[in-house]
Structure 1
Amino acid sequence: MRKRLVSNISEYMAGETKKTITLKRQVYTLETFAETYKDEGTKQSVFDNIKKSMRCSKKKAGKILGSYLPIIGFIRSYQLKQYILGDVLSGFTVSFMHLPQSMGLGILASLRPIHGLYSTFFSVLVYLLFGTSPYISFGTNAVMALLTQTVVEREADNFIASFANTNASLPTEDEIMDVKIDVSMACCVLVGIFLMGMGLLKLGIITTYLSVSFVGGFTTAAAFHIASSQVPKIFGIKVKTFAGAGKLVLMYIDLFSKITQTKFAEVIIGVICIIVLLFVKICINERYNKKMRMPIPIDFIVVIIGTIISHYARFEDVFNVNIVGEIPRGFTMPAFPNIDNASSFVSDAFVMAILSLAMSISMAKLCSDKHGLPIDDNQELIAYGACNFVSGFFHCFPSATALPRTMILSSLGARTTLNAIATSAFFLLIILVIGQLFVSLPLSVLAAMIIVSMKDLLLQYRNLPKIWKVNKYDFIIWVVANAVSILVDLNYGIIAGVGISIFLTVVNDQLSTGHLIGLSKSEDSAVRYTDGKNIRDINGVKIFKIPTNLYFATAERMKNHIFRRIMNPKKYLKKMQKLETMAEIVDEETIVNNNISIEYIGKPTSVSLDVKLKSLVLDCSMVNYIDMAGIAALQQVIKEYKTVQVDVYFVAIADNVCATLEAGEFFKTFPKSNVFVDVFGAISVLSSKAVDSTSSTKL
């Protein structure tokens, strides 16, 4: 429909006869416009608004409950015959991808596969209750698993180091794992608290501060970290655990120093799995995705085949292949997270919360735009927070949505969040009964799957030439966030990416330059003034467009830019004084310099001034914010031009800017009658004024 509308408009505008418009209205200044179109609505006090919001009724209570539990609305409006097939099919299909990913990412998080299964089960179940998007597949996420690994490894190293200066024996592997689980649970709860807090405070807007270029560079670097973390498993080599700046570089140095320890059986298994996975995903699933009812669950198939072959060929005993090992049956008793050392990783938890929010809400909005189903940003925040908060009591690690799983739900036609029932039932069966069957699964199979799942993120490097052409600032942000995240560490990459984004935003404001505008000779259109051709000459009037907000970082520079492009009153007066001195020396001689005419009349020190510029119009249509420094800059511009008998006028001042000027007592010294609604009104008045002035001069 939209394409057809655009086509009709294009055809209409491309007609043989050029379309013209005629507008008729009076000239408005700020005062006259406010009087004509004043807001007559009744304004309520803060007390009245609070009182109104505190009123309660059954209808309002039901509406509030429905907003916090969207599943009620989905159940009430569920159309069984139309929705059931799509929900069940998509729910089971995404489960086949969930299973291997959750086991692999549990290991990536430096925990056990069962913790990945727990994280998926509880996240999916809670999102079913609180989520608003049918296409979000909440659960284990590679980036979150990697960040969890960083935190739990660091805390585990601190725990081991605490035994170094004592006579006590070093902790066992199980004790170290218990510490890691405690830390991951605490992180999960903290992430949930942060996200739910932002949702309740309606802070969904915070995602706007994470630029697309930053998210692209960071997620690509995270994919590189994730893929790199699986390389030692492909080679069957156990490398040291590094933390802090440069850990990825140190890991590769350690890996290559032990390259002679490579287990070729692991390499063969990993390479075969990578080839099979890439072939099916690229050559079949992606190529024939429009013709297939559902993609081939190749990850699930590879896990099953790999487990069967490994079990009957006894890979662990014969080839010394590392396997998943024992997977406990059933659920572990819920426990309250140990938050004694939470201060040491609360900042990491906040970073996880922001990234979980950014990745999940961006996918929710993408699917919402694609399918035309609305989502509630703040309720989504509450849902993400609830998923993590509840999971934190069941031995899980922080979770988020994942692009491949979300795309499957979108392409298979999931209709409501009730598709999660099929996924939850599948994982409940895995945890209670089937999980133990994957004991013999080689770790190199899971490593290969994780590496292949990073394919789309790693291919974002191909976007760099396009980003360079579109916007150089975005390119710099992308490269800086990516390079720092890879060469130093992910947490430093976040700081560097956000920092360079803010810095370049300020630089962009600093480098923005205003320009002169004029009216076209052929029609009533305001156009940028370049060489003066095809621009209507307006006697004694110049129009300058301010291109940015006026605040402490830009006000002084924009003031100087106005003086440079129009005329610097101080330099003008100095030039006048110099010519006055010359007039005292030269008797009865007229000196003409540019726009200045000085005549000796009577006494040699008598000087009369004639300036062609009479009025300066400042177009403020692009100014959406002004502070005290901006007000002071405008006042100085008015004052300086007044010394050379040039009047200053303003046009198109936004309401909020006008309110700030009022509060700053700007209009106590500057008349509102010199502020016009638009450029055409100002030009109309000033042109008439110039004509009247010329006529009176001739008389």
Structure 2
Amino acid sequence: MAPPGRINHARHLSEAEEEAENYLEHFYNKSEPNKRRVSFVQRGAMNQAQFDEKFDYNKPHLENELKKQAKKFVRRFYEPFTSFFALKLFIFDLIPILKWFPEYKWKTDLSLDIIGGITVGVMQVPQGIAYALLAKQPAINGLYTSLFPPLIYMLFGTSRHASLGTFAVVSLMTGLSVEKLAAPTDYDPSSFNETDIDLVKLPSPTEVSCAITITMGLILFVMGVLRLQFLTTYLSDQVIAGFTVGSSVHVLVSQLKTLLGIRGLPRHSGPFYLFRHLYDLVMSITRANPVSCGISIVSIIVLHFGKEFINPFIKRKTKSNIPIPWELVIVILSTVFVAVTGVDTEAKVQVVNKIPVGVPNFSLPSFYLIPQVLPDAISITVVSISVWLSISKMLAKRYNYELDSGQELFALSFASISSSFIPSIPNSCSLSRTLVAVGAGCTTQLSIFFSSLIVFSVVIFLGTLLETLPMAALSAIICVALQGMFRKFADLIDLWKVSKIDFTIWVVSCVSTILLDVSTGLIISVCFALFTTILREQYPKWHLLASVKGTQDFRDAERYGETVYFKGICIFRFDAPLLFHNVECFKKSIEKAYTEWQKSHEFYVLREERETILNTKLDGSDESIDGKMFQTAQSTLNTHSPDILSRHFVIDCSGFTFIDLMGVSALKEIFSDMRKRGILVYFANAKAPVREMFEKCHFFNFVSKENFYPTMRDATSIARQRQLELGFKDTGYVPEHDRLTEVLSSHPM
């Protein structure tokens, strides 16, 4: 159908077919002059049934397909034991270090891995201590998490750069769960009295943390066995970005009391707890510790200027990607300051206190806590694995190596399960450490060994030196590390320009996480993102198509100027699966397309037909074209076989990737309504699963298979042949100035 303003450029089928045939003949002769090729023109136009019969279409059996998939799933478990070679491949895939370590390039990669590993290890120490306190755990638990899980991952993982260990958002979520289930961290069992009997029954923060860790490991293991890593795709980049920024707000607010040196604030949980916490903080501002405030301010200034100005300046001058570890600088300077001045006792500055040294104690995790921590563990697992896979895949693609997502689930599972037998917290990927590892030149997983040596030295020998480390300095490290998260607000302007829906997903994810809770915000974010997908399918775009000049293609008529329009033939496409939630939209789109088709000259196949309808309108009749007036005009003009109609409506089914019973019912309704209007409906480009659905629903008993065509060219050619059988002459449209017609066309029909 020709859109308004382009009707004079309409061309007709005979000319288009001639141009297309000449084009194809010229192309084939030019590209392969000595080889005869089969083209569309040579096979001739045919319907879908003829096409399937000619080219031997075979319908796959659903039962056989299900058996095939079931056998494939079961075969994964017994296939490694069918031969020695299969068992060897299975072991090498399960333990990737057996593959890459024998091929390690000692001369070129060792020095880079040593430098990169030491750089990451230096960052692991302050971050491990700080994020452990964020998770409401003893400082040493963060160091254990930075030491043992990465070593386990080195054996089983396939990512060469991702840094496993503590992560701010995961630590925050762990801390919130610990606050709900564990006894307060400042509770002293030696001061027991009868009113504290409920606190005695509560598990310790470490027990809750280890229970979350092993539950997380079991969830990852089940996901690995069932190959469920695809579930992480439901967390889009906008969901993760908005959620992490919202979680960062929680992290920042949770550190304000430590930055100010305020103690004894009540604990809150549940929706809107953040605002209750801020209210308590404001009401207690007079209790702020001046020395803690001073340590916080100086630490933030040093960290900010060091990272933002000094490190880039040194990088430009030295051409080195190894940054100065300002976190470690702050840890050393603040620890020395407190030890020399004694402000921890005089000014009551809160410090880390005792950090045990030596090998950690091994014990079984509290399995009875698994049902209680399961909901929080699922949320933590989803966030952890989504962040991990997104970063790991990005780096693997950038540095051109293969990342096995399924094996990553097993690697993280083994790391979590093994670390739950020692005091630890749930682990994940840290973007800041990963970027430092990449910048420092890490090339393989061996860099984890050298970073672990740094953490190991602190755990075994140097832990006692950090007993006077002020908590305010650790909070400053956490807050400065969040500045990269908050910079994502600047990306919202570009996101709004690119996609309004993605912008909305980001905002809803961030706001819901801030207002309600971290776990609740994650659920709302995922549900809203899925809802937008349904919403986009519920109100999809629809188009009227036209043949592109000189080709066999049909494209959107409003986007291409060099198009060919067919009189009496309307081509319609609906760009979405036809399901229950958009059936009404589909039917309305058909009506809009039909109305627009009526307004064009292509709607009138015969000149006499158009004049009959106009004369009827001039008689003062208020009936629409869809009523008795049209049927009368049609019966007058159709002197030939009543089974062959001169007006044809072609539905391009290429957008119907899925269809349900309501969709099938809607097509029946459209077909019936169009036939009442004297219009024959064609279905083209229907995919095989959609046609099989039609067969199951007995759709072909209502609409004959002869109305289905494999391509748009088949449908339009058959429609044209039927028009010619009615005596339709393919004459070009000659524009004429008819004032009366012009006035009528400007008013509603």
Q: Distance in 2 between the 1:310 and 1:445 partners?
A: 11
Q: In 2, distance between residues paired with 1:222 and 1:412?
A: 28
SS of equivalent residue, structure 1 residue 337: coil
CA distance in 1, matches of 2:237, 2:594: 38
CA contact (8 A) 2:157 2:411 kept: yes
Q: Equivalents in 1 of 2:74, 2:282: separation in Å?
A: 69
Alignment-derived partner of residue 377 in structure 2: 349
- Specify the alignment match of 2:55 in structure 1: 36
Contact 2:185 2:205 in 1 (8 A): no
Contact 1:548 1:622 in 2 (8 A): yes
Question: 1:530-550, CA deviations, whole angstroms, 9 ceiling, x for partnerless residues?
Answer: 499764331211011111111
Higher RCO, 1 vs 2 (CA within 8 Å, ≥6 residues apart): 2
Counterpart among 665, 673, 676 of residue 643 in structure 1:
676
CA deviation map 1:474-501 (0-9, x unaligned): 2222112211211221122112212222
Return the offset for 1:457: 0.6
What are the equivalent positions in structure 2 for 1:506-545 lying under 5 Å apart?
Answer: 506-520=534-548, 525-530=553-558, 535-545=563-573
1:325 corresponds, among 350, 353, 356, to 353
Does the 8 Å contact 1:590/1:598 carry over to 2?
no
Deviations 1:632-686 (A, max 9, x none): 2222222222333322212222233233333333334434443233323322332
The whole-number CA distance in structure 1 between the counterparts of 2:547 and 2:336 is: 79
Are 1:396 and 2:424 counterparts?
yes
In the alignment, is residue 155 of structure 1 matched against residue 174 of structure 2? Answer: no
- What amino acid is the match of 2:94? Y
By how many angstroms is 1:567 displaced?
A: 5.6
Equivalences for residues 243-642 of structure 1 within 5 A: 243-286=269-312, 289=315, 291-520=319-548, 525-530=553-558, 535-566=563-594, 608=636, 614-642=647-675
- RMSD, matched Cα: 3.5
Alignment of 1:100-119 (within 5 A): 100-119=126-145
Task: Report % sequence identity.
Answer: 26
Q: Is the partner of 1:202 in helix, strand or coil?
A: coil
1:59–1:29 Cα change, 3 Å: farther
User: Any idea what SS the aligned residue of 1:220 has?
Assistant: helix
State whether residues 233 and 443 of structure 1, in contact with CA within 8 Å, keep that contact through their aligned partners in structure 2.
yes
Once the two structures are TM-superposed, the CA of residue 194 in structure 1 deviates from its matched residue by 0.9
Deviation at 1:359, TM superposition (A): 0.8
Q: Which whole-Å CA distance do the structure 2 matches of 1:320 and 1:405 have between them?
A: 33
- Displacement, 1:341? 3.8
Residue 689 of structure 1 corresponds to 722
Indicate which of 225, 229, 232 corresponds to 1:200: 225
Aligned to 1:125: 151
* 1:683–1:458 Cα change, 3 Å: same
- Secondary structure of residue in 2 paired with 1:417: coil
Contact 2:653–2:685, Cα closer than 8 Å, also in 1: yes
Q: How do residues 186-225 of structure 1 correspond to structure 2 at under 5 angstroms?
A: 186-225=211-250
TM-score normalised to the size of structure 2? 0.80
Structure 2 residues without counterparts, runs of 5 or longer:
1-22, 29-38, 598-612, 639-643, 732-749
Name which of 657, 676, 691 aligns with 2:709.
676
Corresponding letter in the other structure for 1:374: E
- 1:184 matched to which residue of 2? 209
Deviation digits for residues 11-40 of structure 1, max 9, x if unmatched?
xxxxxxxxx875832346434444427579
- Aligned partners of 1:48, 1:400: CA distance in 2, in Å? 34
Q: What amino acid sits opposite 1:136 in the alignment?
A: A
More displaced 10-residue stretch of structure 1: 231-240 or 662-671: 662-671
Contact 1:147 1:352 in 2 (8 A): yes
State the shift of 1:307 in Å. 1.6
Opposite residue 235 of structure 2, the aligned amino acid is L
Letter in 1 for 2:246: A
What's the secondary structure of 2:649's corresponding residue? strand
Aligned length: 656
Who is 1:98 aligned against?
124
Is structure 2 residue 87 aligned with structure 1 residue 61? yes
Residue identity matched to 2:675: K
The question of whether the paired residues in 1 share the 8 Å contact of 2:48 and 2:710 is answered with yes
SS in structure 1 of the partner of residue 655 of structure 2: coil
* Aligned equivalent of 1:236: 261
Counterpart-to-counterpart distance in 2, 1:117 and 1:427: 7
1:72 aligns with 2:89: no
Query: After superposition, what is the alpha-carbon deviation per residue over 1:548-567, rounded to whole angstroms, capped at 9, x for unaligned?
Result: 11111112321232133216
Measure the CA separation in 1 of the matches of 2:365 and 2:268.
Answer: 26
* SS across alignment from 2:572: strand
| Alpha-carbon distance between aligned partners in 2 of 1:37 and 1:410, rounded to the nearest angstrom | 55
User: CA 1:664–1:334 in 2, change beyond 3 Å: closer, same or farther?
Assistant: farther
Range moving further from structure 2, 639-648 or 376-385: 639-648
CA distance 1:426–1:172, change in 2 (3 Å): farther
Q: Structure 1 residues 286, 348: CA separation in 2 closer, same or farther (over 3 Å shift)?
A: farther
CA distance in 1 between partners of 2:633 and 2:530 (Å): 55
